[in-house]
């Protein structure tokens, strides 16, 4: 479904990603883990065409995304939940969900009411402004906003950062439910606990380079990788 080959990413003269190669198959669940500053967020922004200058090849179902605008990538079925959530603070929870529905998409999408049923913690907050929500509530709203479009690929950037354990545990169920409909997942995280429960295979990134790729069982056997590149 998604193929990345020889990807280099730059911010100005700063070379952030170096010759990355990875694949997310249809329905696949892939984790990218690494320390802060390793390049995880830069990869997701590169996939969306939202920030870095890139060299290399990004393909969606065999089609190059090189000249496709971010909004058009979203219409292809790629939903991005950024690390800073990007909630519209002057709109209510319900309005944030409503505005996320893109009627130009041909596949069926959920309504805000249906989405609130899937995220029951948001139901009582539907008339509250996004800007006054707690961090955990904003993260749930960001995830619900992505889910409403019935995505084919979900890009999640550090969804557990700064959240209470009870919110993180519930988010596992939310992500699994979204992916249970056939949605693929590329999760960028530092939490091994969360990543294991949401994905089947893992890449490790350090200083903009992939230093490991494999199944979780292989990762568990590669203790040197964990110690050198993650600090565990």
User: How do residues 34-69 score in pLDDT, each as one tens digit?
Assistant: 999 999 999 999 999 998 999 999 999 999 998 899
At residue 181, the pLDDT reads 85
Q: What is the pTM of this model?
A: 0.94
Q: Can you give the residue ranges of every domain in the chain?
A: 2-229
Task: Look at residue 150 and give its three-state secondary structure.
Answer: coil
What would the pLDDT profile of 75-102 be if each residue is shown by its tens digit? 899 999 999 899 999 999 999 999 887 6
For the cut 70, the answer to whether the pLDDT of residue 105 exceeds it is no
Query: Which distant-in-sequence residues (6+ apart) come within 8 Å of 113 by Cβ?
Result: none
How far is residue 62 CA from its own chain's centroid? 21
Instruction: Report residue 108's pLDDT band, with 50, 70 and 90 as the boundaries.
Output: confident
Arithmetic mean of pLDDT, 117-121: 93
Cα torsion angle, 195, 8, 143, 132, sign: positive
Q: Quick one: DSSP state of residue 132?
A: G
Strands (E), the chain: 2-11, 14-24, 29-33, 53-60, 63-64, 78-81, 153-157, 184-189, 201-206, 209-215
What would the pLDDT profile of 167-224 be if each residue is shown by its tens digit? 899 999 999 999 998 999 999 999 999 999 999 999 999 999 999 999 999 999 988 8
At residue 223, the pLDDT reads 81
Nearest by Cα to 167 from 141, 192, 145, 189: 141
Rounded to 5 degrees, φ, ψ at 104 are -80, -10
Q: How far apart are CA 230 and CA 152, in angstroms?
A: 30
Class for domain 2-229, per CATH? Answer: alpha beta
């Amino acid at each position: 479904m998604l193929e990345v080959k020889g990807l280099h990413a730059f911010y100005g003269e700063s070379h952030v990603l170096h010759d990355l190669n990875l694949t997310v198959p249809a329905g696949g669940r892939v984790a990218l883990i690494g320390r802060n500053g390793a390049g995880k967020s830069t990869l997701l922004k590169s996939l969306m065409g939202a920030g870095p200058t890139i060299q290399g090849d990004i393909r969606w179902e065999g089609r190059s995304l090189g000249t496709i605008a971010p909004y058009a990538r979203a219409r292809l079925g790629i939903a991005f939940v950024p690390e800073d959530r990007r909630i519209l603070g002057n709109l209510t929870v319900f309005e944030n969900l409503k505005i996320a529905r893109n009627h130009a998409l041909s596949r069926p999408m959920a309504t805000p009411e249906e989405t609130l049923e899937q995220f029951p913690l948001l139901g009582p907050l539907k008339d509250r402004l996004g800007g006054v929500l707690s961090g955990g509530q904003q993260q749930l709203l960001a995830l619900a906003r992505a889910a409403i479009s019935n995505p084919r690929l979900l890009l999640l950037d550090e969804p557990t950062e700064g959240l209470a354990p009870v919110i993180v545990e519930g988010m596992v169920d939310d992500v699994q439910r979204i992916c249970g409909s056939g949605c693929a997942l590329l999760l960028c995280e530092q939490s091994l606990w969360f990543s294991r429960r949401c994905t089947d295979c893992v890449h490790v990134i350090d200083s903009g380079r992939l230093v490991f790729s494999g199944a979780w069982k292989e990762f568990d056997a590669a203790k040197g990788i964990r110690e050198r590149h993650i600090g565990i």
